[in-house]
Structure 1
Amino acid sequence: MSKFSKLGLRRVVGAGALAAVAAVGMAGIGAGGAAAAPLPNGYKNAAGVDGESIQTWRTGESALPAPSVANNGAGRAAVVSGTYRAKASAGVNGNIAVKVLIGCQVDITGLEGGLSGSITQALSPSLSGSLTIPLTPGQVAVVDVTDKDIKEGGVAAIQLDQFGINVESCGGYASARTIVKTVGAKGYNTDDGTVNGEGTYIQSTLYGKPFSLN
């Protein structure tokens, strides 16, 4: 079993993933109607060369456009619910992260994602917060929501319950989609700022269906 240790891999992978996400996200964020119905479930299995694997599920996801908190005509908002789960094969451990990809059609001087509602994790308290993300016209932003470690050969789950997304300074159509990113390996760890493990380094990204913000 070969070992690997890569300095700053998480940072490098994150930068590459952001560029790829922006390209994919722009294709899915365009003019369209409001999406108030439940969103499709999703599944992905990422396998390594030595038989390792991490499976990822997105279930029970829904998004409902809602009035903007600012109520000034230049804001867009929605509430999102869903369950995001990852299962590692024997000997494999890693991390699951839930993100939101957000874009606005016209001139944006600043994007504020007001993240409210609750984030529930097994044996963890609810979390909430807010983020301010500057965007130039035509760009999209990837907002980190939360993440959780996957124990060796185990299952990790993150549940969003009426999770609020509030976009300010958006004068046109706005859209968003969830992203579930899983990484792992046998003996996976990020000690001393490096990503370490044995065998194959597994990385998987599961995209949700775009939904509109009111």
Structure 2
Amino acid sequence: MTNHVPSAAESASARPHRLRNLTGLGCAAITVIGLLSAGAAQADTFVPLPDGRETGPGVTLTRVGEHATVSPSMAANGVGRVAWVTGTVAAEVTDAPRVERPGPYSSPGNGNGTNNSSTHGASQVNAGYIIGCQVSVGDKAITAGMSANVGTTSAGVSGSVGVQLGPGEVKLVQVGFKDILEPGRYAVGYRDFGIDLQGCGGYAQARSYAVVEIIGNNYSKTVLYGAPFSIG
């Protein structure tokens, strides 16, 4: 039995086939790399945030375990993004009037990021976020937003909320609250609460807030702000 040695003509005719195969592999590799790059551009961003503590008349207010995950909006329109926020706010209340039953609730939007506890006859702990479009959410922006009474958006029971925000605007998003009917410990916890921001073509910032209002003859309001973070 003799081994067949391909002639020069046969080798030359086989080269294009091998080149076509290699070229196909190269295109496939480039396609995979392209898909990986596109996926990386759309990746979520995890933002760890520091704990906080604030002491006021008759109350100690703390926030622990806060973090955010920033994602592209499902709307995929280039001007939207979503922040999924998690944290726990707790109020240790040592001085508050005892209340059997709070009165009718006022609607959200009564200013200062709260349900305006004094209008329904019970003290209250309240947690949420301040959102700004092309505004650095520092103390001045927060004060301006609250004094302008831009309104508070409440999520209800859905666990997420949509916010329409234009350049230079600041809005308050309420995550949750609890009435304080007597001295004790009260907590508002939330996990992966979604804030879907739309309409902001520039950069956006968010910052958590927690408020305790104590009604009665010794009315007081204690506010704890979180660290500002970018939501794209």
| TM-score, normalised via structure 2 length | 0.57
Q: 1:150 is aligned with what amino acid?
A: I
Q: 1:72 is aligned with what amino acid?
A: N
What is the distance in 1 between the residues matched to 2:159 and 2:47? 25
What is the distance in 2 between the residues matched to 1:151 and 1:114? 22
How does 1:52-201 map onto structure 2 within 5 Å? 53-92=58-97, 94-105=123-134, 127-128=158-159, 130-133=161-164, 135-184=165-214, 188=215, 197-198=216-217, 200-201=218-219
The 3 A distance-change label for structure 1 pair 130 and 148 is same
CA contact (8 A) 1:114 1:129 kept: no
Partner-residue secondary structure (3-state), 1:36? strand
Which is further off, 88-97 or 168-177? Answer: 88-97
| CA deviation string 1:39-96 (max 9, x = no partner) | 010001102xxxxx11100000001211212111110221110000111105546210
1:129 CA displacement: 5.2
What is the distance in 1 between the residues matched to 2:46 and 2:56? 31
| CA deviation string 1:186-214 (max 9, x = no partner) | xx4xxxxxxxx23x111011101111114
The 3 A distance-change label for structure 1 pair 206 and 86 is same
What is the distance in 2 between the residues matched to 1:129 and 1:79? 9
Tell me which residue corresponds to 1:30. Answer: none
What is the distance in 2 between the residues matched to 1:45 and 1:165? 28
The 3 A distance-change label for structure 1 pair 46 and 128 is same
The share of aligned pairs that are identical, in percent, is: 37
Partner-residue secondary structure (3-state), 1:70? coil
Q: 1:177 is aligned with what amino acid?
A: R
- Does residue 52 of structure 2 align to residue 42 of structure 1? yes
Q: 1:38 is aligned with what amino acid?
A: P
Identify the structure with bigger relative contact order (alpha carbons < 8 Å, sequence gap 6+).
1
1:143 CA displacement: 1.9
| Bigger share in helix | 2
Give unmatched runs, 5+ long, in structure 2.
1-43, 99-122, 136-152
Kindly report the root-mean-square deviation, in angstroms, between the aligned alpha carbons of the 2 structures.
2.6
Give unmatched runs, 5+ long, in structure 1.
1-33, 48-52, 107-112, 120-125, 189-196
CA contact (8 A) 1:90 1:153 kept: yes
What is the distance in 2 between the residues matched to 1:160 and 1:149? 17
CA contact (8 A) 1:61 1:83 kept: yes
CA contact (8 A) 1:67 1:76 kept: yes
1:136 CA displacement: 4.9
1:138 CA displacement: 1.1
What is the distance in 2 between the residues matched to 1:101 and 1:213? 12
Q: 1:158 is aligned with what amino acid?
A: V
What is the distance in 1 between the residues matched to 2:205 and 2:45? 10
CA contact (8 A) 1:114 1:166 kept: no
